[in-house]
Amino acid sequence: MIETNVKNLLNAIPETNAFGEKVVLVAAVKTRTAEEINLAVAAGITDIGDNHVQEFKDKYAYIEGNPRRHFIGRLQTNKIKYLLGKTNLYHSVDRLGLAEELSRQSERAQTASEILIQINIGDELTKGGFSYGEAEKAFRAIRNLPALKVKGLMAMLPLTDDVALLNRLAKKMRALYDGLNDGSFERLSMGMSGDWRLCVDAGSNTIRLGTAIFGTRNYNK
Ligand SMILES: *Cc1c(COP(=O)(O)O)cnc(C)c1O
């Protein structure tokens, strides 16, 4: 099933978005076994994204095929050390304190970390991220941190069937991305299994899919 899902998705996802940017598929691997992840990688997945540091650590040694690693979940500063040097892109930098600590620890490790700034575009209480109104100030502060490279923005759209609202928010994110982009941006990370098509249409170039690749999640396993 995983292999078929990956093949179908790789066929369905356009190579580039309307802005001519390559669309990257990141497999969201929370709750999935190393075995399932390895099947996805063998079928053509090049990038995988974790939500939980503990899961990342537990599975790290068992992941085959050397996929690019993304961290897409809420990150506590005391867990940064487990990801440093093993994560290609941090999508979920959702507060200044996290950015500062990630920069501090990256500097100490003599590395630079590539990050996206998470925006809470739907103004949802349950989601992390800077508000639309705070985004520019946050970007200016974070881009000055010595050991971070801001590569773009990340957002999660609300879980709703209101397609007009989703389209409006996705386009608002793309406009924000273009407005802040000082030439260093590469990734607008927006789109999950339920909304990736409209996100790519609106200008996302990085989508994070779990259910569409692996099936329904079982958190009780
Ligand atoms: C779980 C998760 C996804 C994938 O969600 P699906 O609906 O299963 O595709 C994407 N992004 C983040 C941040 C996630 O936590």
State phi, psi for 160 to the nearest 5 degrees. -155, 155
CB 209 within 8 A of CB 178: no
Span 163-171, average pLDDT: 98
DSSP state of 21: P
Span 114-121, average pLDDT: 98
CA distance 84 to 39: 26
Span 145-167, average pLDDT: 98
- What's the token pair of residue 77? 């500063």
State which amino acid sits at residue 135.
A
* 149 CA from centroid of ligand 1 (Å): 24
What pLDDT was estimated at residue 71?
A: 98
157 CB within 6 A, ligand 1:
no
**Helices and strands (H, E) in the chain, number of each type:** 9, 8
Task: Kindly state the helix (H) or strand (E) to which residue 64 belongs, with its residue range.
Answer: none
User: For the chain, what is the mean pLDDT?
Assistant: 97
pLDDT band at 221 (very low <50, low <70, confident <90, very high): low
- What's the token pair of residue 201? 């249409």
- What's the token pair of residue 58? 């537990």
pLDDT band at 90 (very low <50, low <70, confident <90, very high): very high
* 166 CA from centroid of ligand 1 (Å): 16
28 CB within 6 A, ligand 1:
yes
> Could you report the per-residue pLDDT of 11-63, keeping only the tens digit for each?
999 999 999 999 999 999 999 999 999 999 999 999 999 999 999 999 999 99
Percent of the chain at pLDDT exceeding 90: 98
pLDDT at 174 over 70: yes
**Ligand 1 atom 13: residue of nearest CA:** 72
CA distance 148 to 87: 13
Model pTM greater than 0.85? Answer: yes
Rg of the chain taking only CA atoms, in angstroms: 17
Handedness of CA 145, 150, 156, 162 (dihedral sign): positive
pLDDT at 208 over 90: yes
* 187 CA from centroid of ligand 1 (Å): 17
What pLDDT was estimated at residue 53?
A: 98
pLDDT at 173 over 80: yes
206 CB within 6 A, ligand 1:
no
Do β-strands 113-119 and 148-155 pair in parallel, antiparallel, or remain unpaired? parallel
Q: Is 205 helix (H, G, I), strand (E, B) or coil?
A: coil
